[in-house]
Amino acid sequence: MGAAPVDPTTTEAWRRLAELASGFEPDLRRMLADPEWVARSTVQAGDLRVDLSKNLVTPEIWKALQALAAEIELAAQRDAMFRGEHINVTEDRAVLHTALRRAAGSDLEVGGADVVEQVQAVLRRVYAFADDVRSGAWRGFTGQPIRTVVNIGIGGSDLGPVMAYEALKPYVQAGLECRFISNIDPTDAAQELAGLDPATTLFIVSSKTFGTLETLTNARLCRAWLLEGLGAGDEAVSRHFVAVSTALDKVAAFGIDPANAFGFWDWVGGRYSVDSAIGTSLAVAIGPERFEDFLGGFRAIDNHFVSAPIEQNVPVLMGLLNVWYTNFLGAQSHAVLPYSQLLHRFPAYLQQLTMESNGKSVRWDGSPVTTDTGEVFWGEPGTNGQHAFYQLIHQGTRLIPADFIGFASPAYPLTDGETDVHELLLANFLAQTKALAFGKTADEVRAEGTPEGIVPARVFSGNRPTTSIMAPSLTPSVLGQLIALYEHITFTQGAVWGIDSFDQWGVELGKQLALQIAPGLAGDAAVLAEQDASTRAMIDYYREQRTR
Ligand code: F6P
């Protein structure tokens, strides 16, 4: 990498894209009448079939976007990441989540360390632990096997594990269950612990830094719950608490036996960590063999990202499309709509991945960004979202590119006696992408006999862009592929914008202020006196109103 990022807005490709955007009148009806266009716009990465044909692009726009990738040296930036260069400049760290899923025995030395062997050594311990819990060899303090694994963590130490656990529930061993506590709102712990038997419950405290207020507070709360429930002292902790962290000294200081701690490294960002030991709860739930398949899925997309030619490189194309929509067509958000109930936490997971990564106003050299950066990612599973917010996507005034994700085979092939219900789900997937692309003209509305006065309300402009992603079924490997796809889309966008997609300074200020304000809530006069009028008034109101 050079001393400063390339300013994308100074490139020839940017100038060309601006030219193409001005007065651009997309016509998806015409484009989609051409089977050649659809064939050329359909790409494959691993098991993911990706149809890009319903996007607002033309061959010229694709050419200019690909030229932009060349001008900002995307390939060199990507290679620097995979090599372990310190591309996380503001934290002076390598960015090597891709090393977490390298094949055992492959070669990657960083700073004199054999990174792949380090990863494998931790995986072996995680797998041995998972096998012990699954087989019942791991016993709780009273000698009973574990039935419930509770992951305590927040952000990347929660969203990945909970999303993947939910997505892969059909693969979870019968008789085992995972729960997840993240929020410092004590309601979360109260509700997740409800009905659990301390004798058969095991906690995994997951925290990269082992300094996160929410996680340490919840860990203490759960320890108190456990010891009270068992009527035991600290000697019970080692049979019911394990930890995952990069800060193994802090794990020991917390009272967790270092033999029960699984490490990872500062070169794994929290939001990129589900495939590290942070995924231990998942490894227990689905077993080491399937966890290996999960890692294999990531690896398949890493290989694709590194080796596929740009015109077929799915994460690069999807990342470039996002740049096109954000910087040239004015999109401010991006919907992710899984037609799979199992992926109901996937949009929330992607929110951290994309928005913590690319929500930046300065570039990696400290200079201001030269264009808009990260868009708002959001979504809900189809078809639920259709009955909630799709109205705005179809007929609102904003451009909202949307990714539709579906699977050929259902996890549960149920029928209502007549209908294959999964086919109805997929019919909705296809209907929505078609309606968004084609819309409905005023003449078409009139031809249905609609009274003239309400014709405008029933017109759909169409030309609303979607990407359709379909895979054979939602296996551990396919989930790994989907996650890696979005990791590399996020990387591509950050690389174009010249930002450090791997720091997250924006979350620090609020954390510091919360610690400063906390004594004020308890009535500390000095802290209260320091507060601004609004904060002070809210604290006063709280102190008056709190009854228990
Ligand atoms: O909120 C910021 C953040 O640092 C995330 O990036 C991270 O995933 C989360 O907090 C949890 O951090 P930790 O794993 O260190 O507890």
pLDDT, tens digit, 9 for 90 and up, residues 184-200: 999 999 999 999 999 99
Taking 90 as the threshold, does the pLDDT of residue 60 lie above it?
A: yes
Rounded distance from Cα 158 to ligand 1 centre (Å): 9
How far is Cα 152 from Cα 180, in angstroms, rounded to an integer?
Answer: 6
What is the pTM for the complete model shown? 0.98
Rounded distance from Cα 206 to ligand 1 centre (Å): 10
Give, in order, the Cα–Cα distances in Å from 219 to each of 181, 225, 302: 9, 10, 35
Q: Is 7 helix (H, G, I), strand (E, B) or coil?
A: coil
Give me the pLDDT at residue 442, please.
98
Selecting among 311, 423, 511, 530, the annotated active-site residue is: 511
Angle between helices 59-71 and 314-323 (to 10 degrees): 100
- Whether 208 lines ligand 1, by a CB cut-off of 6 Å, is yes
- Whether 182 lines ligand 1, by a CB cut-off of 6 Å, is no
Query: Which residue's alpha carbon is nearest to atom 2 within ligand 1?
Result: 507
The torsion region of residue 231 among left (phi > 0), alpha (psi -120 to 50) and beta comes to left
State the average pLDDT over residues 486-493.
98
Give me the pLDDT at residue 3, please.
79
Selecting among 356, 375, 380, 487, the annotated active-site residue is: 356
Interval 151-179: pLDDT, tens:
999 999 999 999 999 999 999 999 999 99
State the average pLDDT over residues 465-473.
98
- The full length of the chain comes to 548
Interval 254-279: pLDDT, tens:
989 999 999 999 999 999 999 999 99
Rounded distance from Cα 154 to ligand 1 centre (Å): 6
Give, in order, the Cα–Cα distances in Å from 261 to each of 69, 138, 365, 411, 495: 42, 15, 36, 34, 35
Query: Which residue's alpha carbon is nearest to atom 3 within ligand 1?
Result: 155
Mean pLDDT of the chain: 97
Cα angle 109, 125, 145; round to 5: 165
Interval 322-334: pLDDT, tens:
999 999 999 999 9
Give me the pLDDT at residue 316, please.
98
- Whether 93 lines ligand 1, by a CB cut-off of 6 Å, is no
Rounded distance from Cα 136 to ligand 1 centre (Å): 32
**Probe residue for ligand 1, chosen from 209, 215, 352, 509 as the CB with the greatest number of ligand atoms within 8 Å:** 209
Rounded distance from Cα 157 to ligand 1 centre (Å): 7
Q: Is 434 a catalytic residue?
A: no
Give me the pLDDT at residue 223, please.
97
Q: Is 19 a catalytic residue?
A: no
Query: Which residue's alpha carbon is nearest to atom 16 within ligand 1?
Result: 207
Residues 6+ positions from 421 with CB-CB distance below 8 Å: 410, 414, 415
State the average pLDDT over residues 195-218.
97
- Whether 270 lines ligand 1, by a CB cut-off of 6 Å, is yes
Residue 505's φ and ψ, nearest 5 degrees, are: -65, -25
Closest to 466 measured CA to CA, from 434, 440, 426, 425 = 434
State the average pLDDT over residues 129-158.
98
- Whether 355 lines ligand 1, by a CB cut-off of 6 Å, is no
Taking 70 as the threshold, does the pLDDT of residue 1 lie above it?
A: no
Q: Is 356 a catalytic residue?
A: yes
Residues 6+ positions from 530 with CB-CB distance below 8 Å: 516, 520
Q: How confident is the model at residue 111 (pLDDT cuts 50, 70, 90)?
A: confident
Q: How confident is the model at residue 363 (pLDDT cuts 50, 70, 90)?
A: very high
Closest to 472 measured CA to CA, from 543, 532, 376, 405 = 405
State the average pLDDT over residues 17-44.
97
Asked if residues 203 and 241 have their Cβ atoms less than 8 Å apart, the reply is yes
How far is Cα 84 from Cα 277, in angstroms, rounded to an integer?
Answer: 19
Taking 90 as the threshold, does the pLDDT of residue 99 lie above it?
A: yes
Rounded distance from Cα 277 to ligand 1 centre (Å): 15
